[in-house]
Structure 1
Amino acid sequence: MTASKHDTAPAWVDPDDAPELDDEWFERADIHENGRLVQRGRPPVAHPKQRVTLRLDEDIASALRASGRGWQTRVNQALREWIEKGAG
């Protein structure tokens, strides 16, 4: 047969046969405010960070990691200060 086969489910017409609105349904629902879709998750940042590969001496990398959480942020800030001083 050359005719394409389409799934033709019967149209839903009985409002008393509506699916139950449980917690799962509401969790998956899209939220709208003033006609606009509210996106879930973090909003995009104005100036996103860029992933780079940087080769450092082993002792330098170990010392930075040993300084604790936020070491990459501190390296970023130190490089920013160095560039702003005009040392670049």
Structure 2
Amino acid sequence: MKDDDTKAKLVRYEFDPTNPPPLTDEQRERLRALDAMKDEDIDFSDIPPLTEDFWKNAVRGKFYRPVKKQVTVRLDADVLEYFKTKQDGKRGYQTAINAALRKVFEEEMRKAG
């Protein structure tokens, strides 16, 4: 099969999670049946057990991407210069500032928690 043939058969769909297509009657019925099911009636036999080895190399938050929000903030000049110098004057100093604030934030949350 040629590349041109493959490209001609590709179908692309776009999905807007803020405006999903309406559910069909069949989909609504399946959801009602699942909602009515008791937890003990759920068949987990096709799910492999998760052992300690599975979690050994897990990294908390690896796939978590918090939403960024643009703000204006005033920083002491020496603090800003520190972060800019740390990045060799390159882009990324804002990310470094965010990482430092996140570290403090997470520590405070641990103490409160």
**Band the TM-score falls in, shorter-chain normalisation:** 0.3 to 0.5
Give the structure with the larger helix fraction: 2
Give the structure with higher Rg (CA).
1
Give the structure with the larger strand fraction: 1
